[in-house]
Amino acid sequence: MNPRITFLKSSYESFRGRDVNDLYKHYVQKREKALLDSIAAATAINGIFFSDYIDYDKITPEIAEAFQTSFPNLELSDLSKMSEDQLAGIISNWKGKLFEFNVRDNLNVGEMVGDIQLEEGQYAVVADSLTQPGWDLQILNADGTVARELQAKATDSLSYINEAFEKYPDIDIISTSEVAGLNDNLLNSDISNEDITNSLVDPMKSLFDSPVENFLEDIFPMLPVLIITTTEGRKCIMGKQTAMEGLQSGIKRGTRSAASMGLGALLAWMDFGVFSIGGTFALNYFWSRHEDSNEALKILEKKERELRLLAAKY
């Protein structure tokens, strides 16, 4: 066979067999890397915006009113900065005020609470002062005179109830259902202490994390940087790329991650919730796929030109 034809044949087979196969493997690796970067960016957005958050959709107007009354110098958003011990103290006081509001509202809509039902023209009010001695609620007549005073105790501790009886023996106590049957002098609100507590904890349950969860939440925002640095550094150590190539690849991947996280942050700020996580993932992944596809196409076009030149030469 003509040696020139033999050389051309071997060159073509080399390109078809080795180079195209290597190019395919390279593209698959790029796709896997794009998936890894996208997951890391989405996880970082979740760690930044949704790891410790308050579900405001579960904050009812009554719960919000009880908080504002109990803590006039705080905002609900301040709770995300508190320790678990601080939150426990907040919830204890908040629960007591919420119970008072529940009793007030139930009475004012005509329900019987304990053995109490309002008469025509009467209405119930909660004490304006947080340090009001003796009573927590008053039942007022239509002319504003006081018909009855009550203490409201949201607790499952009978000793706490007994202390209140000793201190204010002339004021009736209405309690949560857990302790109402333990003392004949108590008025049963038919409101559960556990239910009230859960209604406050549920919107903030992500704030009560274990030490491991807190550690992971601190790590997640840095996950894209850690993954990019580790994977590019490993390739440099193994001799699969130069330090300059690793730097260039790292900058490109970092730019995509930063841009996608920026979109996620914007969506989170606009209150799109979990859609911000999906947006972060989608932008990073499809941007990476687009760039990698273009890179593979350019390499193929280059190889095709080289073959054409080789064929024209021989």
Tens digit of each residue's pLDDT (9 = 90 or more) over 212-231: 444 444 555 565 666 666 77
Exposed e or buried b for every residue in 98-118, given b needs 16+ CB within 10 A? bbbbbbbebbeeeeebbebeb
Q: Which two tokens stand for residue 73?
A: 């110098």
In the predicted model, is pLDDT for residue 4 greater than 60? no
pLDDT for position 57: 84
Give 57-63's long-range contacts (Cβ < 8 A, gap of 24+). 57/203, 58/199, 58/202, 58/203, 59/203, 60/199, 62/98, 62/101, 62/102, 62/105, 63/98, 63/199, 63/200, 63/203
Distance, in Å, from the CA atom of 37 to the CA atom of 284, rounded to the nearest integer, reads: 7
Which tens digit of pLDDT belongs to each residue from 164-194? 888 888 899 998 888 887 888 888 898 888 8
Question: 238 — alpha (psi -120 to 50), left (phi > 0) or beta?
Answer: alpha
Chain centre to alpha carbon of residue 44:
12
Least confident segment among 66-80, 140-154, 255-269: 255-269
Question: 174 — alpha (psi -120 to 50), left (phi > 0) or beta?
Answer: beta
pLDDT for position 17: 47
- C-alpha distances (whole Å) from 198 to each of 95, 191, 192, 237 are 10, 12, 10, 53
φ, ψ for residue 171, nearest 5 deg? -110, 125
φ, ψ for residue 224, nearest 5 deg? -60, -40
pLDDT for position 40: 62
- For residues 158 and 214, the model is more confident at 158
Q: What is the average pLDDT value for the chain, to the nearest integer? A: 75
Residue with tokens 């894209």: 224
Distance, in Å, from the CA atom of 215 to the CA atom of 199, rounded to the nearest integer, reads: 27
Whether 51 and 220 have beta carbons less than 8 Å apart is answered as yes
The alpha helices in the chain, defined as continuous H runs, are 3-14, 20-49, 61-70, 84-108, 158-167, 177-180, 193-201, 211-219, 223-237, 243-269, 275-313
